[in-house]
Chains A and B, each alone.
Chain A
Amino acid sequence: MIDLLDPDTLAGLLIASFGIPMLAIFFATILPGIERKIQARIQQRIGPGILTPGFFAIFKFVFKHKPKIVSPMPTLYKWSPFVGIVAIYGVVIFTTPQWADILGLSSLVAIIGLLKIEEFMYVVMGYLSSNILSVRLPYPDTTKGSKHRETTRTTIESWGSIRMWKMIMLASLPLYVAMFLPVAFTGTISIAEIVNQQSGGNAFIFTVPGLIGAAVFFLGYVAILNEYPYSIGKAKADVMEGPMMELASSWRAGYYLMRAFVMFTVSSLFVTLYFGVPLNPFNGVVLLLHFILVLILPVAMAVFSAFSPILTFRQLVPLSTVATLVGFFVFVISIGVAG
């Protein structure tokens, strides 16, 4: 039981709740730039500066004038990215050791629930937006002689959000299976316990089930960020940008921030669960190591996504099924080995 009135624990709690996420947000705005730069170098050209797609883009959108958003529920639509940011904020602070015993929030189940909220935000946004380029485009195409004039039209954004629904099931499932693998290894769902059991150089990733689990986690990481090859929810080929199309100025800055934040957070979860290096604000060396290890997954994702096209459900369904089955198989084996 933790004593909240003790000044040391209170100070630690406050620093963990406010200092760590600020640091995380600053670091997160560099990650899209690194990803884009690596993709550009693979494509044999100089890409944009490292701060441009993340940091400067967010500020530029904040300084733009706000247009009128066309939407049935504009307030909900505009603030959806911020709901996502709050959920991810929760994920970051619940993985710090200072939150270890408070209300059972520092467990894997809570983390996964909060990540689901972020994924669901895309679905909500899609049904609420109607961009000029989708159905409202002024073009006279239902004239005499056209086919099927009375069919209802779906906007491109709601089509994208239908796909995001399917992606939540199909493509994020490997991520959650991979997140549960350390549970099989250590026998507990509390994050602090998982970290403690891997201390002293006994990291999970250096075992064979750990390596396979890391590969499955990587596929799930690419999926939750909607990068190629899992970007069918916002595929440039038909839905352009999907649910996010009508966001403009400050609210689009919120979306960019949410995406960068997710990029950091899921990678940070990977480092905490598989390497056993926590986000501890009071240990400078461990914190620095954590931030360096966080760079592994975005860099790997950049290289992987530069070499792959968008995969449609024809290919995604078999791929995700195989990845989930592999993760499940490793889970069963880990239980056998550890127990």
Chain B
Amino acid sequence: MKSLARGRAIHVMVVYTGGCNGCDIEVVAAVFSPIHDLEQYNVMLTWNPREADILLVTGPVTRKIAPALKEIYEAIPEPKVVAAIGSCAVNGNVYKNLGGTLGSSWEIVGPVENVIPVDAKVPGCPPRPEDIISAGALAIKILSERSD
């Protein structure tokens, strides 16, 4: 019963950590648009960490948001899965790895892995809604196989 219920009713929460917003628009298109509807897979969108199972993080983590991201992650009850969406969340993208004479940016704490543990990564700038949905499916599979 446990894995049946966990696989059939999933709540997803999105956290924007200061990115360029391209991934956020694609996530919103994946969740909210009737064409790539995410609710048909029994995944519902929520904004409350206490209600969430899956945390989607987009954007490179800026200094101001890093403590809040950590607190939000800790507020989610177990079992939980974290998915990093977009190249910024996976490896920092242009902000962390490029720089002219002044070097790269100091405002970025780095990819999401530096702040919270990540289970699924979706590269792309931005990734397509279909890729985001398949990351969601992978996260659902991880979640329903957790036996604790």
Any A–B CB pair closer than 8 Å: yes
A64 with B79: CB separation less than 8 A = yes
Separation of A67 and B78 alpha carbons in the complex (Å): 8
A249 with B77: CB separation less than 8 A = yes
Chain B residue at minimum C-beta to C-beta distance from A47: B39
Chain B residue at minimum C-beta to C-beta distance from A70: B75
Given A67-B77, A236-B47: A45 touches B8 (CB 8 Å cut-off): no
Contact residues in A for B141 (Cβ distance below 8 Å) = none
B35: min CB distance to chain A, Å: 8
Query: In terms of DSSP, what is the predominant structure of the interface of chain A?
Result: loop
B contact residues, range: 20 to 34
> Does A44 interact with chain B (Cβ within 8 Å)?
yes
B51 with A252: CB separation less than 8 A = yes
Chain A residue at minimum C-beta to C-beta distance from B2: A63
A241 with B8: CB separation less than 8 A = no
Tell me which of B5, B9, B68 contacts A137 (CB under 8 A): B68
Q: Binary interface profile of A, 26-61, with partner B (CB < 8 Å = 1, else 0)?
A: 000000000000001001111111011100110110
A-B contact count (CB 8 A): 95
Given A60-B9, A63-B5: A46 touches B40 (CB 8 Å cut-off): yes
Tell me which of A44, A240, A247 contacts B34 (CB under 8 A): A44
Chain A residue at minimum C-beta to C-beta distance from B49: A132
Chain B residue at minimum C-beta to C-beta distance from A67: B77
Contact residues in B for A247 (Cβ distance below 8 Å) = 50
List which B59-108 residues lie within 8 A (CB) of chain A.
64, 67-68, 71-72, 75, 77-79
Contact residues in A for B71 (Cβ distance below 8 Å) = 132, 136-138
> Does B131 interact with chain A (Cβ within 8 Å)?
no
A67: min CB distance to chain B, Å: 5
Q: Binary interface profile of A, 227-256, with partner B (CB < 8 Å = 1, else 0)?
A: 000000000100011000111110010000
Contact residues in B for A241 (Cβ distance below 8 Å) = 47-48
Residue in A49, A140, A247 whose Cβ sees the most chain B Cβ within 10 Å = A49
B77: min CB distance to chain A, Å: 5
B118: min CB distance to chain A, Å: 20
Chain A residue at minimum C-beta to C-beta distance from B5: A59
Separation of A138 and B72 alpha carbons in the complex (Å): 10
Contact residues in A for B5 (Cβ distance below 8 Å) = 56, 59-60, 62-63
Separation of A276 and B53 alpha carbons in the complex (Å): 44
B6: min CB distance to chain A, Å: 6
> Does B116 interact with chain A (Cβ within 8 Å)?
no
List which B15-70 residues lie within 8 A (CB) of chain A.
34, 37, 39-40, 42-44, 47-51, 53, 64, 67-68
> What are 19 A-B contacts with C-beta separation under 8 Å?
A45-B37, A45-B40, A46-B37, A52-B8, A52-B9, A52-B42, A56-B4, A59-B9, A60-B10, A60-B53, A64-B77, A65-B77, A65-B79, A65-B148, A131-B50, A132-B71, A136-B71, A139-B68, A248-B51
